[in-house]
Structure 1
Amino acid sequence: MSERIVSKITKESVSALDMAARLDEGSLCPVALVEETFANIRSSDPAIFTELFEARALKEAHASRQRRRDGKPLSPWDGIPIAWKDLFDIKGRVTTAGSVILKSNVPALCDANMVANASQAGLVSIGCLNMTEFAYSGLGLNPHFGTPKNPHGSGPARIPGGSSSGCGVAVARGLVPLAIGSDTGGSIRIPAGLNGIVGYKGSSVAFPTGGTLPLSPTLDTFGPLAADLKSCIGAAQILNGRAIAIPKPSPIDQLKFFIPSNVVFENAQDAVIQNFEASVRALEQAGATITRGVCDEFDDIGALARKHGYLVGPEALDVHWDLVHSAQAKQIDPRILDRILDAGEMSARDLLVIQRKRARLIEKNRQVLDKQIVLFPTTPITAPKLKPLEEDDDLYLQTNKLMLRNTALGNFLDWCGVALPNGLDENQMPTSILLSMTSGRDSDLLAAALSVESILLKADDRST
């Protein structure tokens, strides 16, 4: 096969949009592409995937090649590889959600809705990607299947971010151009940010959810991780069973951005703040309108959590009630098990108060923000070293809380969000900027983010 397609965003990540163009012109063969994909995976970090679908993928690739030869591709992306976080049902396979305890479950009778939609567009399912057990951590550690290593930096291994850990690393390493994850408190945007790629989390109603294993049915959202935003947009349309249509970028001088001054910059790394401010200056110079101020809802969310707890807790406890109260519970990662069981200390009133006040805060925030785009760092820190977090439970909990802090605000308020890479720290670890809008404004957000991505890439070109 000819040389790898390289995106500007990272040294190895592969653009699905560019790959589709090569498939269309005939310089890339779906079968050869899939064969190289599996060869690259086998020579890479073994902790990235939990299972590979070589027989299925080769069958799909051969069918794609024939369709293209006949001039009848199912979509412009017919033949492109795609991989799934290990909580999407795949027909004939047990959905394990990064856990060994679920391996005895009954295999799925059919593909999840999004998997089926991807197949109907001709995409080739490569395998299931590793994740934090039950999707319940923002760090990405998994003692059962191993922890995928962040491909950036040098020296000791760094965390991938979670819970869609395999998604972030697989795309950043160029193993697949598209990985589909879930996001309950940051699980798409965090690994995208820590691995220097793009991640799009939809609003709560942005994607079909059938055939996905839940963590928190209220907060769970979904979306793609890819090398560039156009690849994410195309993937999102395919996952919804729609034709691919890339929108025009919104004129930057017509966009209004709001930067919260509270919560999201607390305990942030110097490099994260410096790169964020450099990105803001680039947007201002391009003509964007930017204001700063206090987001009262952030303080309200913090006060609510301190008094009544977190919504994800009781919902996760309900989903996994039988497992965590069974003799098999000892097979669960103790840190995950403890977090799930901790929710048992919340009262029924705590849950009702959280649900009631969340609805009010979402409505209040919708009115305050209107069409503004909220802007702040995706994570307050870059990817920390892996080994200390494996060895120290207190450090693990402290770091996990900090890692999830910024992104979880968007889940609570039902925002849609796009994480874009915006630089490196002194250890060559990626930083990321997060764009968010209120629920249902996904199309507006994606069009705006296309303009922002272009400006950030130009700024990066000038700096290098």
Structure 2
Amino acid sequence: MPTHLTMAGTALKLQDGSIDAIDLVSTAIRKSRASRAVFISFVEWAHDAAVKSAHRRRSGVPLSRLDGIPFAVKDMIDVSGSRTTAGSITRIDSSPASRNAAVITAMRTMGMIPVGKTNLSEFAFSGLGLNPHFGTPTADFHAAAPRAPGGSSSGSAIAVQRGLVTAAIGTDTAGSIRVPAAFNGLVGFRASTGRYDMDGVHPLAVTLDSLGPLTRTVEDCALVDGAMRGRANLEACATPLEQVRFVVDSSLLDDPTLQPDVAWNVRSVVTRLRERGALVEERPVDALTRSREAIATPGWLGAIEAWSLLQPVVEGERGDQIDRRVRNRLLAAKGIDRHVEARIRALRAELMLDMQHELVDAVLVTPTVKHVAPSLAALEANDSLFAAINLETLSLTMPGSLLDMPGVAMPSGADRQGLPTSVLFSAQQGHDDRLLRVCLAVESALLTRPIQ
């Protein structure tokens, strides 16, 4: 496979004039149109934006170092002139957005150019990334049968994995950035819910919905994060590992349902962090264990809120057009009463406080997903298998969403088949900047190289 440029590397080439925005955008769209099921639609004004960016560069007045860089947008996020389908055929006739979402506006002020709207699990309600309406995008590094791309931000991840763009943005309610990053050897950042302006982002579960970038490096993640907040010139500096305390949940690494290669690769990462001077504690994290139990019983807050939002669609005249697997998951939340929801919210507040007391200033280390990307054909053929694997896939990312912990999924290696494995670094709610600085140091320590 060809080596793909990082976004930071692309910015340097734009600066020295060896490439220009017009070529970048034209190439991205041409390759994207030829890549099955990755994009749902393309941005009509992207080429004009590239022409203006190239003119600014020639005139010596770029809007930022990122001016002219194309990126992909999950089709839950409004882009002016483009329809937002949320991956659902029920929205195929909706009107195009009249304006950009707030994060797109922020990125446009830096000169970045959205080239298209990427595919996803319908209504962003699955961790596996399958979509019967627009097809299922798949990575290009598998020699064997295709694997599930991870969801719900499947198209955003595959657009970066295939080198169609150097960065994409997605949403994450239960793991929808972190899981596809894990399955495809990428870096994915799920931010705390208050980090970005959510105006123009179509909701799934408003308490838990967040945004973030998918890229090939932590450095690129930090750059996109800054752009999404209108701060592209804010440089993120790595925190020396000697100043960082990590907590590894030992009970997770001993879980018999964790694939051995996933566990081995996380332990290898931990060993290398210790070698670089980091303080690493291995112990059970009670708040994490109790969060997982709370999600299993009495239920998932995200499903309750998703049902409240989508009930009119599911029970409406086009409800039978929804992906049956997504529809079944939504219907399963129909019977959860308000008293149960109130108990879940009260328990959530208690667990968030307990996690603060357990972690203090430490960074939590866990596997991102228990397993590598599963066989796509097997999931398409068996709804019961799909439901079971979907829950397993999300089981380690849902607690972070419940507790509103920012998380960075990073490649940890590969299994014996060559499929990517991933490690997840999480911090307390609102500690996003510190987490990114720590992960920059981790990336340097591990000499992470994206899987091609």
Separation in 1 of the partners of 2:32 and 2:296? 43
Q: How many residues align?
A: 449
Aligned partners of 1:262 and 1:298 also within 8 Å: no
SS of the aligned residue for 1:338 comes to helix
2-side partners of 1:237 and 1:161: how far apart? 25
Tell me, in whole angstroms, the C-alpha distance in 2 between the residues paired with 1:258 and 1:456.
Answer: 18
Which of 208, 226, 229 does residue 218 from structure 2 map onto? Answer: 229
> In the aligned structure 2, how far is the partner of 1:160 from the partner of 1:318?
28
Contact 1:297 1:365 (C-alpha < 8 Å) held by counterparts: yes
Query: How large is the Cα RMSD of the aligned pairs?
Result: 1.5
1:85 and 1:14 mapped to 2: Cα distance?
A: 21
Alignment match of 1:371 (pick from 357, 361, 366): 361
1:405 partnered with 2:395: yes
Contact 1:13 1:171 in 2 (8 A): no
Structure 2: how far apart are the matches of 1:11 and 1:226? 16
- The within-5 A match list for 1:13-24 is 13-24=4-15
Distance 1:357 1:11, change over 3 A: farther
Structure 1 residue 59, shift from structure 2 partner: 0.4
Q: Which amino acid in the other structure matches residue 28 of structure 1?
A: I
Q: Which residue of 2 aligns with 1:27?
A: 18
- Shifted more, 300-309 versus 207-216: the winner is 300-309
1:301 to 261, 266, 291: 291
Cα 1:325–1:19 shift into 2, 3 Å: same
Q: Which runs of 5+ in 2 are unaligned?
A: none
Q: Could you tell me how far 1:121 is from its partner in structure 2?
A: 1.0
* Distance in structure 2 (CA, Å) of the matches to 1:112 and 1:264: 40
Counterpart for residue 310 of structure 2: 320
- Structure 2 residue 81 is the aligned partner of structure 1 residue 88: no
Helix, strand or coil: the match of 2:45?
helix
Of the three residues 356, 373, 387, the one matched with 1:383 is 373
The offset of 1:263, in angstroms, is 4.3
Q: Is 1:140–1:164's contact at 8 Å kept on the other side of the alignment?
A: yes
User: Contact 2:301–2:344 at 8 Å: present in 1 too?
Assistant: yes
Counterparts of 1:330 and 1:95 in 2: how far apart (Å)? Answer: 20
1:195 aligned partner: 184
Q: Letter of the aligned partner of 2:22 in structure 1?
A: V
Distance 1:325 1:14 in 2: 46
Q: Which of 136, 141, 152 in structure 1 is aligned with 2:125?
A: 136
**Residue of structure 1 equivalent to 2:251:** 262
Following superposition, the deviation at residue 153 of structure 1 comes to 2.4
Deviation of 1:43 (Å): 3.0
Relative to 1, partners in 2 of residues 1:264 and 1:115: Cα closer, same or farther, differing over 3 Å? farther
Q: Does the CA contact (< 8 Å) of 2:285 and 2:358 recur in 1?
A: no
> Is the 8 Å Cα contact of residues 264 and 406 (structure 1) preserved in structure 2?
no
Query: How much does 1:298 deviate?
Result: 2.4
Residue type of the alignment partner of 2:11? A
Greater CA deviation, 344-353 or 240-249? Answer: 240-249
Unmatched 5+ residue regions in structure 1?
1-9
- Cα distance between partner residues in 2 of 1:352 and 1:437: 26
Equivalent pair of 2:76/2:85 in contact (CA under 8 Å): yes
1:250 maps onto 2:239 in alignment: yes
Of 277, 280, 288, the match for 1:290? 280
> In 2, Cα distance between the equivalents of 1:144 and 1:262?
40
The 10-residue stretch of structure 1 (263-272 or 287-296) with the greater mean CA deviation from structure 2: 263-272
1:346-398 Cα offsets, whole Å, 9 max, x none, are: 11101000011101110121122111000011111011110000000111011
Name the residue aligned to 1:427. 417
Report if the CA contact (8 A) 1:56-1:125 is conserved.
no
1:117 aligns with 2:106: yes
Query: Residues of 2 paired with 1:179 and 1:173: CA distance?
Result: 12
- Cross-structure match for 1:61: 50
Whether the 8 Å CA contact 2:253–2:263 is kept in 1: the answer is no
1:454 partnered with 2:444: yes
Q: CA deviation at 1:11?
A: 5.5
Structure 1 position 304, deviation (Å): 2.5
1:423 to 1:307, Cα distance in 2 relative to 1, 3 A: closer
Shift of residue 109, structure 1, vs aligned partner = 1.8
Is 1:349 the equivalent of 2:352? no
CA contact (8 A) 1:153 1:427 kept: no
Conservation of the 8 A alpha-carbon contact between 2:187 and 2:409? yes
Q: What is the deviation of 1:190?
A: 0.7
Instruction: Using the TM superposition, give the Cα deviation of residue 264 of structure 1 relative to its aligned residue in structure 2, in angstroms.
Output: 6.2
Q: Which amino acid in 2 is paired with 1:22? A: K
Counterpart AA for 2:112: L
Looking at structure 2, the residues matched to 42 and 108 of structure 1 have their Cα atoms a distance apart, in angstroms, of 21
Q: State the match for 1:4 in structure 2.
A: none
Which residue of structure 2 lines up, in the alignment, with residue 41 of structure 1?
32
TM-score by length of 1: 0.94
SS at match of 2:297: helix
Given candidates 99, 104, 114, the residue that maps to 2:88 is 99
- TM-score, length-normalised on structure 2? 0.97
Report the equivalent of 1:417: 407
In 1: Cα distance, 2:41 partner to 2:380 partner: 24
- 1:39-68 CA distance string (max 9 Å, x none): 222333x11001112x31100000001111
Amino acid at match of 2:438: A
Q: Which moved more, 1:358-367 or 1:328-337?
A: 358-367
SS at match of 1:83: strand
Write the distance in 2 (CA, Å) between the matches of 1:91 and 1:30: 20
CA distance change for structure 1 residues 404 and 265 in 2, over 3 Å: closer, same or farther?
Answer: farther
Query: What is the CA–CA distance in structure 1 between the aligned matches of 2:149 and 2:240, rounded to whole Å?
Result: 34
Distance in 2 separating the partners of 1:115 and 1:230: 20
